[in-house]
């Protein structure tokens, strides 16, 4: 049974499209930060480990600890915990900006681990090839490690984007806007089933499309 | 030429390599053989400078590479090209791109890279597969690309670290032929590290046996095979398994150089029937080296057998090894 309180179908678009735009904007922005910070962090974690190009226990333990910190708290708790920071930086705790800081913290920590795992898959012997022919560390990281790990990195990126879409929806619960906010605020609180269904369909379609393209890309990059 | 002198590598109190001395002359192929755990891979990693030796020197073209550090060490590594076990090619690069990689990293101009990659691919017989990815190549083909990559920076020494382990006999033969050809055509000095005696027999000029981190025996292959009683000599030219001795006593006979071609019938006049159970004759330069296992009448006096054969130019020794005893008792 469809509730009488529902927004008529033709009008759902007017609510959905701006929310979708906001979600996409948030995820794209957060993902840029995630790749820019989480990628190098992951490389640093791996390469300071005993298997890496420049083992350094103290550095490894500390950055590994920091990365774990970002993944320790359930996202809802993390979000609440960093509200003071958000307020300090943006002067507000609602709307699209409110989600940026907690999502970035969680995303960077997640991507650092995904990057570490992806480069760990590159056999040590292949790095030795670079060392034995006189390549410097940066050349080995860029020309061998990242290049060989690319399919794994893309797979990780896919996973991360999907996680960020999910987080953006959770962020909706504290009024951060986007599809999640629309689903919670209109669909759930106002019993607007049309909006709820539309949100669910859009989320499913988005996640499926991202996973599908990610898988295709990984296959294309694997030789 | 590569000159390794007093090379020692220790991890804590454990000496994995202990005073290795090994010299390979220009254009020679030397092989280091040894069982697993002898320190071969550590030796390889010290020679291509991936591991810093605890002490000792590695001199290539008059420069001690082991003493270098930092940027100089990185540059020095180019002097020694390495062919790794199982090739270690980058999976996401084609054969040509794999060969080009070290040159790219050393800033060789693009036109020069293209020219050299073409030359190298042709030299290793892989020109038709330049744009294949490693997954599209066989083990032997991958190793050819690995060799081409090892040569990309025009090193004076090529280190082959178990490059043929894991290849089938045909592919092994082809790779060994290729290495010999490279030595003949380019004059590159080759140091082969292997556990396979076949590899030594096929291509090495010089051989060194590594055991528990030390070189226990070394020399020119032609000399080593002539040594009358050395473990390395026996490993290089193993005697076939001795069949049943039929109640006869087993003797090992050795000769080197001038021995009458009809010594066997001469010996037979004095010693009675001689059952030749196994024999190996190796021509080495202008002398021949022979090793035989024979069965003689057990009632013969030991002293007499030795004397009779010594007169004919052969060294005789009764077989006492456990394996031979077992062979005797089984007979």
**pLDDT tens, residue by residue, A149-181:** 999 999 999 999 999 999 988 888 777 778 888
pLDDT of A205: 95
Mean pLDDT of B213-231: 83
A126, A131, A135 ranked by CB distance to B90: nearest: A126
Chain B: nearest CA to A26, how far in angstroms?
A: 33
Nearest C-alpha of chain B: how many angstroms from A100? 35
pLDDT in the model for residue B312: 87
* pLDDT mean over B207-215: 93
Q: Can you say whether the dihedral through the CA atoms of B270, B273, B277, B280 is positive or negative?
A: positive
In a domain, B212, yes or no: yes
Establish if A123 touches chain B: CB-CB under 8 angstroms.
Answer: yes
**Banded model confidence at residue B277, pLDDT cuts 50, 70, 90:** confident
- Which residue among A129, A136, A144 places its CB closest to the CB of B74? A136
Q: Write phi, then psi, for B219 (nearest 5 degrees).
A: 160, 175
pLDDT for the residue numbered A181? 85
Cα separation, A62 vs A41, whole angstroms: 11
In this predicted structure, the answer to whether residue B325 has a pLDDT above a threshold of 60 is: no
What is the structure's pLDDT at A45? 96
Q: What does the pLDDT look like over B154-196, one tens digit per residue? A: 999 999 999 998 889 999 999 999 999 999 999 999 999 999 8
CATH assignment at residue B37:
3.40.50.300
pLDDT at B10 over 80: yes
Sheet holding B206-211, edge to edge: B80-83, B157-161, B189-194, B29-33, B206-211, B214-220
Per the DSSP assignment, residues forming a β-bridge with B4 are B22, B58
Q: Are residues B104 and B219 in the same domain?
A: yes
* Token pair for B160: 């082959």
Instruction: Specify the pLDDT at position B75.
Output: 85
Identify from B90, B152, B165 which residue to disrupt to test chain A contact, counting A C-beta atoms within 10 A and taking the largest count: B90
In a shared domain, residues B223 and B112: yes
Matching residue, tokens 């190996």: B280
User: Is B41 a domain residue?
Assistant: yes
Q: Which residues of A, range 46-105, sit inside 8 Å of B by Cβ?
A: none
Nearest beta carbon to residue B77 from set A132, A148, A222: A132
Q: Tell me, yes or no, whether B199 and B249 share the same domain.
A: no
Q: What percent of chain B has pLDDT over 70?
A: 92
The answer on B11 and B54 residing in a single domain is yes
Q: Is residue B32 part of a domain?
A: yes
What pLDDT sits at residue B327?
A: 44
Sign of dihedral through CA atoms A43, B73, B156, B17? negative
Q: Of B173, B199, B229, at which residue does a domain stop?
A: B229
pLDDT at B331 over 70: no
Residues B30 and B155 in one domain: yes
Mean pLDDT of A39-55: 95
- Mutation target to probe the A interface, by most A beta carbons within 10 A, among B41, B92, B162 is B92
In a domain, B234, yes or no: no
CA dist B122 and A150 (Å) reads: 30
Same domain, B64 and B198: yes
Q: Write down the pLDDT at residue A86.
A: 86
Contact list in B for residue A131 (CB cut-off 8 A) is: 50, 77
Q: pLDDT tens for residues A71-118?
A: 888 888 888 888 888 888 888 777 777 888 999 999 999 999 999 999
Range of the domain at B296: 239-330
- State the average pLDDT for chain B: 87
Is the pLDDT score of B77 beyond 90?
Answer: no
Give the CATH number of domain A9-221: 1.10.3720.10
Average pLDDT over residues B23-32: 93
Token readout for B221 is 């292959």
Interatomic CA distance for residues A151 and B206, integer angstroms: 45
What's the first-to-final CA gap in chain A, in angstroms?
A: 52
Judged by CB atoms closer than 8 Å, whether chains meet at A133 and B81 is answered as yes
Contact with chain A for residue B87, Cβ under 8 A: no
d(CA B285, CA B180): 19
Q: Is residue B270 part of a domain?
A: yes
* A129 close contact with B: CB closer than 8 A: yes
Average pLDDT over chain A, rounded to whole? 90
Q: What is the predicted pLDDT for the residue at A223?
A: 85
Q: Is the pLDDT of residue B326 over 50?
A: no
Delimit the domains of chain A by residue range. 9-221
* Residue B178: half-sphere exposure toward Cβ, Cα within 13 Å: 27
A65 band by pLDDT with thresholds 50, 70 and 90:
very high
Residue-wise pLDDT for B238-261, tens only, equals 766 666 667 788 888 888 777 777
Would you state the pLDDT for residue B321? 54
User: Do B186 and B47 belong together in one domain?
Assistant: yes
Selection from B53-67, B124-138, B263-277, B293-307 with the highest mean pLDDT: B124-138
In a domain, B263, yes or no: yes
d(Cα B166, Cα B152) in Å, to the nearest integer? 24
Cα separation, A140 vs A120, whole angstroms: 14
The answer to whether A133 and B159 are in contact (CB under 8 A) is no
Per the model's pLDDT, the better-predicted residue between B189 and B325 turns out to be: B189
pLDDT-wise least confident of B27-36, B82-91, B279-288: B279-288
Choosing from B184, B200, B229, the residue where a domain stops is B229
Give the number of domains in chain B: 2
Q: What is the CATH number of the domain that holds B269?
A: 3.30.70.260
**Per the domain annotation, does B29 fall within a domain?**
yes
Q: Are residues B26 and B87 in the same domain?
A: yes
Is residue B233 within 8 angstroms of chain A, CB to CB? no
Coil vs helix vs strand at B5? strand
A2-16, A129-143, B162-176, B180-194: range with lowest mean pLDDT: A2-16
Specify whether the CB–CB gap between A110 and A163 falls below 8 A. yes
Nearest CA in chain A to B146: A129
Mutate to test the interface with B, among A125, A133, A220 (most CBs of B within 10 A): A133
Cβ-Cβ contacts under 8 Å, B153 against chain A: 133-134
Same domain, B128 and B260: no
Question: Does one domain contain both B265 and B176?
Answer: no
Out of B199, B229, B259, pick the residue that ends a domain: B229
**Chain B residues within 8 A of A136 when measuring between CB atoms:** 74, 105
Question: Which of A126, A143, A223 lies closest to B88 in CB terms?
Answer: A126
In this prediction, what percent of chain B has a pLDDT beyond 90? Answer: 49
Same domain, B225 and B301: no
Q: Is residue B186 part of a domain?
A: yes
Domain co-membership, B131 together with B50? yes
Mutation pick from B77, B88, B155 vs chain A, by most beta carbons of A within 10 Å, is B88
């Amino acid at each position: 049974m469809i509730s009488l309180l529902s927004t008529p179908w033709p009008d759902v678009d007017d609510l959905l499209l701006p929310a979708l735009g906001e979600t996409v904007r948030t995820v794209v922005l957060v993902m840029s930060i995630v790749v820019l910070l989480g990628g190098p962090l992951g490389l640093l974690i791996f390469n300071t480990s005993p298997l890496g190009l420049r083992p350094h226990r103290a550095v490894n333990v500390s950055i590994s600890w920091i990365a774990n910190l970002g993944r320790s708290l359930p996202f809802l708790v993390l979000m609440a915990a960093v509200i003071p920071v958000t307020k300090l930086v943006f002067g507000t705790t609602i709307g699209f900006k409110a989600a940026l800081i907690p999502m970035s913290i969680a995303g960077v920590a997640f991507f650092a681990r995904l990057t570490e795992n992806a480069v760990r898959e590159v056999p040590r012997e292949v790095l030795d090839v670079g060392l034995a022919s006189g390549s410097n560390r940066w050349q080995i990281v860029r020309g061998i490690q990242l290049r060989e790990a690319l399919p794994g990195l893309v797979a990780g990126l896919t996973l991360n984007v999907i996680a960020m879409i999910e987080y953006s929806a959770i962020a909706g619960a504290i009024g951060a806007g986007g599809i999640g906010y629309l689903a919670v605020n209109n669909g759930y609180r106002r019993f607007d089933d049309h909006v709820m269904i539309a949100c669910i369909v859009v989320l499913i379609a988005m996640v499926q499309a991202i996973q599908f393209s990610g898988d295709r890309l990984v296959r294309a990059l694997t030789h | 030429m590569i000159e390794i002198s007093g090379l020692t590598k220790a991890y804590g109190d454990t000496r994995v390599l202990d005073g290795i001395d090994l010299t390979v002359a220009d254009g020679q192929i030397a092989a280091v053989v040894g069982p697993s755990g002898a320190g071969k891979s550590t030796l390889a990693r010290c020679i291509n400078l991936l591991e810093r030796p605890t002490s000792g020197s590695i001199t290539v073209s008059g420069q001690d590479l082991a003493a270098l550090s930092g940027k100089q060490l990185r540059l020095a590594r180019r002097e020694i090209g390495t062919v790794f076990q199982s090739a270690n090619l980058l999976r996401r690069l084609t054969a040509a791109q794999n060969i080009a990689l070290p040159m790219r990293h050393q800033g060789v101009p693009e036109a020069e890279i293209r020219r050299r990659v073409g030359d190298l691919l042709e030299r290793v017989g892989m020109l038709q597969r330049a744009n294949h990815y490693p997954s599209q190549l066989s083990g032997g083909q991958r190793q050819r690309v690995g060799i081409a990559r090892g040569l990309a920076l025009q090193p004076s020494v090529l280190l082959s670290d178990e490059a043929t382990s894991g290849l089938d006999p045909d592919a092994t033969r082809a790779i060994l032929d290729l290495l010999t050809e490279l030595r003949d055509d380019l004059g590159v000095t080759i140091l082969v590290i292997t556990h396979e005696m076949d590899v030594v027999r096929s291509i090495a000029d010089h051989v060194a046996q590594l055991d528990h981190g030390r070189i226990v025996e070394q020399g020119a292959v032609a000399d080593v095979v002539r040594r009358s009683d050395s473990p390395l000599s026996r490993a290089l030219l193993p005697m076939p398994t001795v069949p049943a001795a039929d109640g006869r006593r087993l003797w090992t006979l050795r000769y080197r150089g001038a021995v009458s071609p009809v010594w066997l019938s001469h010996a037979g006049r004095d010693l009675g029937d001689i059952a030749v159970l196994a024999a190996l004759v190796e021509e080495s330069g202008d002398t021949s080296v022979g090793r035989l296992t024979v069965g003689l009448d057990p009632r013969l006096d030991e002293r007499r057998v030795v004397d009779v054969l010594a007169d004919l130019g052969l060294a005789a020794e009764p077989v006492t090894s456990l394996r031979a005893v077992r062979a005797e008792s089984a007979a």
